């Protein structure tokens, strides 16, 4: 089943500001990373998926349901963690999550039980009886995640869950999201402006920029297909780059390294031949997996 | 479901926690009406500070204490002198200032707090429609105000019923006096709740919201004063329309007559404009509710 599908989805505010432009994407269940710079349209997309705002044009379906036609049906199966502060400081986490569980239609006792379960899963134990106002940012983020989880959704929409966290907190939050996506059997759409962060945990990556789709693909397909060779010579880097370009190899510079996409074993021979020909001191020649960020960078390079 | 494996057994300094893993929820999911009911009850409890900090309980219960004390005192005096000091409706009128302050504290507690903390996206990302949120809060405030006035009226009734010298007949007559009084209390509740909640929903700052509520209810009374001394009989008789309190009193005089003013026309004259007052009250409540719903269609989207 397709988890989220959009067809030519467009959203303009007041006819002037374009938040989403002709976005067509379809993803399978799993952990999906939605990356883009601030203002790329990530939050707008999430709000359309929740049926909170209507698209200007185009179709959208979440878990096979159209949120513009039946928002209540979508929302009862989706959990949403907003980006901004949204916790009343004077309530305890247990009270808040229980209340929001009831608002999702859980009976009183079930809401209380599931609230403490959800808080336990995100790592809040005794502190859940204290007012949220005294919590650290990391704990608040966990409460926000717990309230999205309390009604046992089939899909979680997480808007910048690592916002404001220190590196250790980020790792812990990402590990938690990964655990939810794998062990709990709940699909997760996690939004971030930091590509390096989400690529570690997600199966599928959607990259958008200025409301347009840059790329949407399975993350393993993205990385394995584009292994590169990193070449480093102690001197004569420029000459080597020019020589390789003559050999019709698409060379990219990365500091002192030259990056050459690995087409087949012949690529090794070509590079070694070029180095020997120019009589350069070869420092390093190794294969490495592309990080997704470089993948986008090289794509832009080849376009240019 | 994931198997509880040895890896899932976590040891902590305080002991061993057996992680039984995540459980899917298979139980019932309630519909829109029950969720509305839950939010309504939550609002009603919030109005009286129940389930909240001790600080949040002080003011509501102070007001409840004062109105109950007045009601008990009235009942006691009546049992001594043998005739009523104030009718049920007059009691509601006399308590109007306290009702205004109660609204000024409770309405911001119900809506401004949610606006301020940004919790609304958490409500609106759930199946509950936006209008239900606003209506549940409104109904909770109406109920709270009605209980605030109707509860003490019931105390007065009990006092009168137990001290009546006419037996069951006296109790029955007293009940016939009480019922219009309760209806009148309901009118106070509906008008003050709809206007008060609308004002409070405009700002997330509780102090501003409280000030706004008081301003709307109290700043309009000088207008009534000015209109009622104009050299025009019609202007005098319509003066009460300018303020919510006098509007409610006007409807009361028209519909309850001597139950409210008891022979003495008092300072307020509405002439033959009674139906105008009633219509104005209906329009005020309908208008305030429509604006409240419009407000919640826009907010936090």
pLDDT in tens, chain A (304 residues): 789 999 999 999 887 888 898 999 999 999 999 998 888 889 899 999 999 889 999 999 999 999 999 999 999 999 999 999 999 998 999 999 999 999 999 999 999 999 999 999 999 988 999 999 999 999 999 999 999 999 999 999 999 999 889 888 999 999 999 999 999 889 999 998 888 788 888 889 998 888 888 888 887 766 655 677 888 888 888 888 888 888 888 888 877 888 888 777 788 888 888 888 888 888 888 776 555 555 565 444 444 3
Q: Which residues of B touch A184 (CB under 8 A)?
A: 2, 22
With respect to residue B27, please indicate whether it lies within any of the assigned structural domains. no
Structure tokens at B43: 């609002």
Residues 134-163 of A with CB under 8 A from B: 147, 151-152
In sequence order, the 6+-apart residues with CB closer than 8 A to the CB of B234 are B271
Q: Which residues of A touch B301 (CB under 8 A)?
A: 47, 52-53
With respect to residue B273, please indicate whether it lies within any of the assigned structural domains. yes
The owner of tokens 């309504």 is B40
Q: Is A218 on the interface with B (CB under 8 A)?
A: no
Class of domain A4-219: alpha beta
The pLDDT of B48-57, averaged and rounded, is 86
Q: Do B122 and A183 touch (CB under 8 A)?
A: no
Q: Do B121 and A82 touch (CB under 8 A)?
A: yes
Q: Which of A105, A110, A185 is facing B35, going by the closest CB pair?
A: A105
What pLDDT was estimated at residue A226?
60
The owner of tokens 């959990």 is A79
Q: Which residues of B touch A99 (CB under 8 A)?
A: 42
- Are residues B179 and B270 both part of a single domain? no
- Which of B186, B151, B152 lies closest to B76 in space, CA to CA? B152
Q: List where CATH 3.40.50.300 sits in chain A.
A: 4-219
Q: Do A104 and B22 touch (CB under 8 A)?
A: no
Residues 16-75 of B with CB under 8 A from A: 21-25, 27-32, 34-35, 38-39, 42, 51-53, 56
Contact status, residue B204 vs residue B116, Cβ threshold 8 Å: yes
In the 8-state DSSP scheme, what is residue A92?
B
Q: Measured between alpha carbons, how far is A144 from A158 in angstroms, rounded to an integer?
A: 9
Q: Which of B2, B24, B35 is facing A103, going by the closest CB pair?
A: B35
Q: Which residues of B touch A117 (CB under 8 A)?
A: 23
- Are residues B52 and B165 both part of a single domain? yes
Q: Which residues of A touch B37 (CB under 8 A)?
A: none
Q: List where CATH 3.30.70.100 sits in chain A.
A: 228-288
Q: What are the residue ranges of helices labelled H in B82-129?
A: 88-94, 96-107, 113-117, 120-124
Q: What is the dotted CATH code of the domain comprising A228-288?
A: 3.30.70.100
Q: Do A105 and B124 touch (CB under 8 A)?
A: no
Contact status, residue B197 vs residue B111, Cβ threshold 8 Å: yes
Q: Is A53 on the interface with B (CB under 8 A)?
A: yes
Q: Which residues of B touch A86 (CB under 8 A)?
A: 117-122
Q: Which residues of B touch A158 (CB under 8 A)?
A: none
Which of B2-16, B238-252, B276-290 shows the highest mean pLDDT?
B276-290
Backbone dihedral angles phi then psi of residue A280, each to the nearest 5 degrees: -100, 150
Q: Do A183 and B123 touch (CB under 8 A)?
A: no
Q: Which of A85, A117, A185 is facing B118, going by the closest CB pair?
A: A85
Interface mutation target, options B127, B128, B129, B136, chain A, most CBs of A under 10 Å: B127
By the 10 Å C-beta count (0-12 exposed, 13-18 middle, 19+ buried), B189 is classed as: buried
Q: Is A105 on the interface with B (CB under 8 A)?
A: yes
- Are residues B88 and B121 both part of a single domain? yes
Other Cβ atoms within 10 Å of B76 Cβ, number: 13
With respect to residue B23, please indicate whether it lies within any of the assigned structural domains. no
- Domain span at residue B104 reads 32-219
- Are residues B49 and B101 both part of a single domain? yes
With respect to residue B158, please indicate whether it lies within any of the assigned structural domains. yes
With respect to residue B277, please indicate whether it lies within any of the assigned structural domains. yes
Structure tokens at A243: 């020589």
Residue B263 pLDDT greater than 70, yes or no: no
Q: Is A270 on the interface with B (CB under 8 A)?
A: no
- Are residues B211 and B228 both part of a single domain? no
- Are residues B253 and B229 both part of a single domain? yes
Q: Measured between alpha carbons, how far is A206 from A246 in angstroms, rounded to an integer?
A: 35
The pLDDT of B116-139, averaged and rounded, is 94
Q: Which of A82, A99, A107 is facing B42, going by the closest CB pair?
A: A99
With respect to residue B241, please indicate whether it lies within any of the assigned structural domains. yes
What pLDDT was estimated at residue B232?
80
Pairing of strands A204-209, A212-218: antiparallel
Burial state string for A229-264 with b = 16 or more CB within 10 A and e = fewer than 16: bebbbeeebeebbebbeeeebebbeeeebbbbbbee
- Are residues B126 and B166 both part of a single domain? yes
Q: Among the three residues B174, B202, B219, which one is the final residue of a domain in this structure?
A: B219
What pLDDT was estimated at residue B88?
87
Q: What DSSP assignment string belongs to A94-128?
A: HHHHHHHHHHTT--HHHHHHHHHHHHHHTT--GGG
With respect to residue B25, please indicate whether it lies within any of the assigned structural domains. no
The pLDDT of B115-140, averaged and rounded, is 94
Q: Residue B2's closest chain A neighbor by CA?
A: A183
Q: Which of B31-40, B59-68, B163-172 has the lowest mean pLDDT?
A: B163-172
In the 8-state DSSP scheme, what is residue A249?
-
State the total domains in chain B.
2
pLDDT digits (tens, 9 = 90+) for A207-233: 888 888 888 888 776 665 567 788 888
- Are residues B107 and B246 both part of a single domain? no
- Are residues B120 and B229 both part of a single domain? no
Q: Do A88 and B30 touch (CB under 8 A)?
A: no
Q: Do A102 and B35 touch (CB under 8 A)?
A: yes
- Are residues B147 and B224 both part of a single domain? no
Q: Which residues of A touch B137 (CB under 8 A)?
A: none
With respect to residue B295, please indicate whether it lies within any of the assigned structural domains. no
- Are residues B144 and B214 both part of a single domain? yes
Q: Among the three residues B185, B219, B253, which one is the final residue of a domain in this structure?
A: B219
Other Cβ atoms within 10 Å of B272 Cβ, number: 9
- Are residues B54 and B203 both part of a single domain? yes
pLDDT digits (tens, 9 = 90+) for A231-266: 888 888 888 888 888 888 888 887 788 888 877 778
Q: Among the three residues B193, B219, B245, which one is the final residue of a domain in this structure?
A: B219
Structure tokens at A109: 């006792």
Q: How confident is the model at residue B195 (pLDDT cuts 50, 70, 90)?
A: very high
In sequence order, the 6+-apart residues with CB closer than 8 A to the CB of B170 are B161, B164
Q: Measured between alpha carbons, how far is A243 from A254 in angstroms, rounded to an integer?
A: 17
């Amino acid at each position: 089943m397709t988890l989220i599908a959009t067809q030519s989805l467009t959203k303009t505010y007041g006819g002037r500001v374009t938040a989403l432009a002709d976005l067509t994407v379809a993803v399978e269940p799993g952990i999906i990373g939605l990356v883009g710079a601030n203002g790329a349209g990530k939050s707008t997309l999430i709000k359309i998926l929740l049926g909170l705002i209507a698209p200007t044009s185009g179709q959208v379906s979440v878990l096979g349901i159209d949120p513009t036609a039946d928002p209540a049906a979508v929302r009862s199966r989706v959990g949403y963690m907003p980006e901004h502060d949204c916790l009343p400081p004077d309530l305890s986490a247990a009270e808040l999550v229980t209340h929001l569980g009831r608002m999702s239609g859980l009976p009183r006792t079930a809401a209380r039980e599931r609230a403490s379960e959800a808080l336990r899963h995100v790592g809040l134990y005794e502190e859940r009886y204290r007012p949220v106002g005294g919590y650290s940012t990391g704990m608040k983020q966990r409460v926000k995640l717990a309230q999205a989880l309390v009604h046992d959704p089939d899909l979680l929409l997480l808007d910048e869950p690592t916002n404001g966290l220190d590196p250790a907190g980020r790792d812990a939050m990402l590990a938690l999201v990964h655990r939810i996506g794998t062990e709990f059997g709940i699909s997760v759409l996690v939004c971030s402006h930091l590509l390096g962060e989400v690529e570690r945990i997600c199966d599928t990556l959607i990259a958008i920029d200025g409301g347009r789709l840059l790329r949407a693909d399975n993350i393993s397909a993205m990385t394995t297909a584009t292994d590169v060779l990193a070449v480093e010579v102690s001197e004569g880097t420029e000459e080597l780059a020019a020589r390789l370009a003559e050999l019709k190899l698409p060379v990219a510079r990365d500091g002192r390294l030259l990056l050459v996409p690995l087409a087949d074993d012949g690529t090794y021979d070509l590079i070694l031949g070029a180095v020997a020909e120019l009589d350069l001191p070869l420092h390093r020649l190794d294969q490495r997996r592309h990080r997704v960020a470089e993948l986008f960078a090289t794509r832009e390079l080849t376009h240019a | 479901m994931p198997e509880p494996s040895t890896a899932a057994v976590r040891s902590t300094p305080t002991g061993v926690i057996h992680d039984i893993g995540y459980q899917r929820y298979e139980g019932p999911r309630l519909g829109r009406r029950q969720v509305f009911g839950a939010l309504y009850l939550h609002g009603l409890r919030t109005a009286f500070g129940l389930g909240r900090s001790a600080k949040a309980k002080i003011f509501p219960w102070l007001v409840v204490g004062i109105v109950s004390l007045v009601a008990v005192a009235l009942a006691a005096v009546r049992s001594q002198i043998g005739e009523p000091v104030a009718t049920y409706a007059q009691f509601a009128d006399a308590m109007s200032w306290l009702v205004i302050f109660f609204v000024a504290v409770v309405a911001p507690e119900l809506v401004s707090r949610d606006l301020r903390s940004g919790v609304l996206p958490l409500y609106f990302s759930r199946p509950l429609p936006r209008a239900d949120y606003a209506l549940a809060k409104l109904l909770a405030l109406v109920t709270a105000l009605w209980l605030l006035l109707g509860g003490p009226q019931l105390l007065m009734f009990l006092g009168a019923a137990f001290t009546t010298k006419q037996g069951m007949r006296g109790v029955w007559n007293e009940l016939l006096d009480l019922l219009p009084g309760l209806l009148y209390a309901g009118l106070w509740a509906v008008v003050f709740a709809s206007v008060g909640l609308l004002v409070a929903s405009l700002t997330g700052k509780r102090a501003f919201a409280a000030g706004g509520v008081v301003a709307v209810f109290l700043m309009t009374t000088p207008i009534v004063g000015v209109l009622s001394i104009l050299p025009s009989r019609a202007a005098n008789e319509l003066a009460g329309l300018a303020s919510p309190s006098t509007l409610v009193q006007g409807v009361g005089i028209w519909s309850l007559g001597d139950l409210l003013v008891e022979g003495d026309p008092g300072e307020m004259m509405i002439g033959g404009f009674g139906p105008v007052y009633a219509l104005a009250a209906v329009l005020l409540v309908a208008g305030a509710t429509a604006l409240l719903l419009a407000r919640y269609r826009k907010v936090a989207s």
